[in-house]
Amino acid sequence: MDKAEVSYYFAKIDPMLQSLLERDVFDLLHRKLRDISLMDDERFRWCSHCGCGFINERIGCKMQCPECKKYTCFECKEKWEAQHDGLTCKQFKQWKQDNNPDAQAAKVDRYLEIHGIDCPKCNARYDLARGGCLHFTCTNCKHGFCSGCNQEYSSTCRKYKSCAKKGMHAHHPRYCLFYLRDQNVHELQQLLQNGEVEFDIEPRNGNQNAGCTVQEQKETLVDQMCGKCVKAQNAGLCEVHYKEYLVSLINKNNIDPAEILTVEQLRMCIERHDMKVPEIHQMEHEDVYRKRLVQMVQTKFPIN
């Protein structure tokens, strides 16, 4: 049912609902219907304070909610603070990290716990519980996307010929956690070292034997402590969450993971784009062939 049909349907039953529902419930329903109709407008945003949806008519990042009168940033969707004045969202985010009194102690946690996700279709914001499937469905607009790269999940995709046989899928870029979680920790660390990016290996509490403390969503849909065993030099995290931490640094610093991919992984990367994979030449060493594939992947499918 499309939006026009939904609007027609609710217009027909509106008088009946008005007689059946309490006034405050009826008004709430109308506000939600209004928000749904407005979400297609690129100016539509949610208030980070009270959750009200509205159209922002003013130019600039600082926008005021018509309901609670408080301010939210139009671009990063965070609560507006005085320190944001004159700073880009990236600069403001860095300022908050640099001025966090617990920044050094909580560096790993900051990457794994405080970052929420935004629906790429309606801009609804969610707190992201770590772990589980990367396929996220927005409860607001029902848009399905990957929480690692924002690519849409679809069972009717026709982007490539091979899509017809894949069923529900998304076109994850090679830097998405969807792929990089299959790499080993040493490879991800080496990638960061090559990019001269620092990362933690020691736990903040100094206890290597304690269970992983990252909050994740369990089968009961309740956020609970992970509790899995931690490994030495994994910053006090289990392997799954330590990889998430490393990948978050790779993504933040725009590091191309092509250099750590195997020949088979590089071939798959090319095949995913319905392109013919070059064959290895006679007498060509595999390392030379692999470098040729890396160059092709980086040239044909740049990450930026």
Residues 112 and 247 in one domain: yes
Q: Are residues 7 and 115 in the same domain?
A: no
Cα 262 from chain centre: 25
The reported pLDDT for the residue numbered 104 is 46
The pairing of strands 62-64 and 71-73 is antiparallel
Same-domain check for residues 281 and 248: no
Q: Are residues 136 and 177 in the same domain?
A: yes
Name residues whose C-beta falls within 8 Å of residue 126's C-beta, 6 or more positions apart in sequence: 116, 117, 118, 119, 136, 138
Q: Which of 43, 67, 97 is the last residue of a domain?
A: 97
* pLDDT tens sequence across 59-112: 888 999 999 999 999 988 889 999 999 899 888 888 877 776 555 445 554 544
267 plus 208 within the same structural domain: no
Spatial separation of the C-alpha atoms in residues 297 and 292, rounded to whole Å: 9
- Domain of residue 231 covers 107-260
The predicted-structure confidence for 232-265, as pLDDT tens digits, reads as follows: 888 888 888 889 889 989 998 999 999 999 999 9
pLDDT per residue as tens digits for the range 191-218:
999 999 999 888 755 555 567 777 665 5
**Can you tell me the distance from the alpha carbon of 103 to that of 110, in angstroms, rounded to the nearest whole number?**
8
**Is residue 201 within 8 Å of residue 176, measured between CB atoms?**
no
Residues 138 and 250 placed together within one structural domain of the fold = yes
Instruction: Show which residues are catalytic.
Output: 133
Residue 96 CB burial class (10 angstroms; 0-12, 13-18, ≥19): middle
Q: Which one-letter DSSP state was computed for residue 255?
A: -
Measuring CA to CA, which residue among 113, 112, 103 is closest to residue 242? 112
Of 66, 97, 128, at which residue does a domain stop? Answer: 97
The terminus-to-terminus CA distance of the chain in angstroms comes to 37
Residues 113 and 254 in one domain: yes
How high is the pLDDT of residue 284?
94
Does 224 share its domain with 170? yes
More confident residue, 277 or 108: 277
Please tell me the pTM assigned to this model.
0.63
Residues 134 and 254 in one domain: yes
**What's the pLDDT at 212?**
78
Domain count within the chain: 3
Q: Are residues 93 and 120 in the same domain?
A: no
Is 102 a domain residue? no
